[in-house]
Chains A and B, each alone.
Chain A
Amino acid sequence: MIDAPPQTKSKLEVKGVSVRYINKRTGAETIALDDASFSVGSGEFVCIVGPSGCGKTTLLNCLDGLRPVSGGRILVDGRPVSGPGPDRAMVFQSPSLMPWRTVLKNVTYGLESQGVAASEASERAQKMIDLVGLSGFESYHPGELSGGMQQRVNLARALVIEPEVILLDEPFAALDAQTRELMQAELLRVWRVTKKTAVFITHQISEAVFLADRVIVLSSRPGRVKAIVDIDIPRPRTLEIKHDPLTNQLERHVESLIDSTLTAEQIFAAAGD
């Protein structure tokens, strides 16, 4: 179950990626990510879990090209990532919608930067708005929407540019438990329709197991790929499978991998003395 063989047809490859920060004031160096390597197959849904502060968001920002890597390489379809590009789209942790734009105009934002004609952009945005279940709310401003609805717009805004890879940074973290579960099911439904390669970051294990084909477990700082767990729960998945024994077994397995991180490091540190 651990360390699945690398996919033969990779959409996204992360090869020995490290990220280091230098604190400008103290000059101290922090290693956020250390030699992280994994690959994501075309159309695959991968979740990355790990304790807080393990560099999950840093890794996702690197994948989107928003932050440079200190070492290693990130490839999308074999091409190195050097900055944000139309082949990747990010669903942000906070909805980060432009409050002065309507739902429709928020969704067309990425298309506008790509120079897509206004009529075509509206048409494509409308389809995405329908897909995420917000038909009828096109002319609303974000301030008039609930948190769950704002996250749907956030999702539609990323999907509408038809990226090769969609990157999701704990998009449901701020939602209440019930809305969160509904949004997870909604995400799977939308993902099945659009067939995008997805990288989803979360610290909630049950969320990762429910969504993913594979779960990548990062160790605590500095983040390293600790284990990769195949989630062989058949699709399509409904919320009922969350109570399935197989699901619970997988959750416990992933959880044990995260919990043991600290112990392993402590043992390592003790051995080094």
Chain B
Amino acid sequence: MSVTQVNIPGIVAEEEAAERPAVRRKIDRSERTRRIVRSAVSLVVGVLLWEAIARLVVHNDAFLAAPSAVAKRGWEMILNGELLSNTWVSMQELIYGFIIGAIAGIAIGAAMATWKSVSDYLEPWIAGLYAAPMIAFAPVVIIWFGVGIASKVAVVIMMVVFPMIINTQAGLESTDRRLLTVARAFCASGPRIFRTVSIPSAAPFIVAGMRLAVGRGLVGVVVGELFGSRAGLGNIITTASSVFDMPTLFVAVVTLAITGVVLTYLLRAVEMRLAAWREVA
């Protein structure tokens, strides 16, 4: 159809040209570099300060281990396989619990957003249990499920499921009514509307829920292991603290911190990708 733009002169899309996003991305990049540099400087200064305090002020390895001592101990634990095997145990607990908890949370949240009656039945439980410190239930869960991996997976599920339910429900309920009408007007079926409108508009909420849940799940792993375990990073922490082995304790803590940061960062990246359209909007 080359009949385009024949009669009225001056009517081309440029008349209302939008800003080209390429320019914005370039600005973003130099701004990002600056932010990364600042973060790195902050980390380096923090570690140096810690080292200085440990060496010059505290002088007591049982009270505060210097970063250098922690790094040395960490290297030993990597070499003898202790660190990796225990990290792997904790990761398994986190991954299984997170996957089960996230799937259950999304399903329950979706059911609550779809059927008002489901929401009415579950609402009081969820409001109560989400507000309650779930970690307090960890000892009970250990008694029920034993000191093996199952009890920790159960604790992680308890930590993960509530933010997932709440975010999924909120995401689905915040779907723009007008878009639902558009989908209906263009003859989309119920499941199709759910897939092409509800899910994409809820996706950023769901991923944000995952980010929140991963942090809570990690807490669940460690606390679960503190209360009863045979292996894992939480187990290292209890064992080390009982003999005042500060360097070993810190190795576990730092490993947990790094894990948390990496997982949050990964989900953040997924979130950015899913909501790329939001940034320009």
The residue that B281 contacts in the complex, of A86, A94, A143, A146, with Cβ under 8 A, is A143
**Using Cβ atoms and an 8 Å threshold, which residues of chain A touch B200?**
98, 100
Docked Cα-Cα span, A225 to B19, in Å, equals: 45
B30 within 8 A of A: no
Give residues 234-268 of A contacting B (CB, 8 Å).
236, 238-239
A131–B186 touching, CB < 8 Å: no
* Chain A, residue nearest B180 (CB): A96
Docked Cα-Cα span, A84 to B6, in Å, equals: 34
Instruction: Give min CB distance, B206 to chain A, whole Å.
Output: 13
B15 within 8 A of A: yes
* Chain A, residue nearest B10 (CB): A182
B277–A113 touching, CB < 8 Å: no
B4–A133 touching, CB < 8 Å: yes
Q: Provide the B165-196 mask, 1 if CB < 8 A to any CB of A, else 0.
A: 00000000000101101111111110010001
Docked Cα-Cα span, A144 to B12, in Å, equals: 17
A149–B16 touching, CB < 8 Å: yes
A109–B186 touching, CB < 8 Å: yes
Question: Beyond A64-B185, A84-B186, is A100–B7 a contact (Cβ under 8 Å)?
Answer: no
B280 within 8 A of A: yes
A182–B11 touching, CB < 8 Å: yes
Q: Provide the B1-42 mask, 1 if CB < 8 A to any CB of A, else 0.
A: 101111110011101111101000000000000000000000
Docked Cα-Cα span, A66 to B19, in Å, equals: 36
Give residues 147-180 of A contacting B (CB, 8 Å).
147-149, 152, 157, 161, 179
Question: Beyond A100-B277, A238-B7, A238-B8, is A144–B13 a contact (Cβ under 8 Å)?
Answer: no
A-B contact pairs, 9 of them (CB 8 A): A84-B185, A96-B179, A98-B196, A112-B196, A131-B1, A133-B13, A137-B13, A146-B16, A179-B16
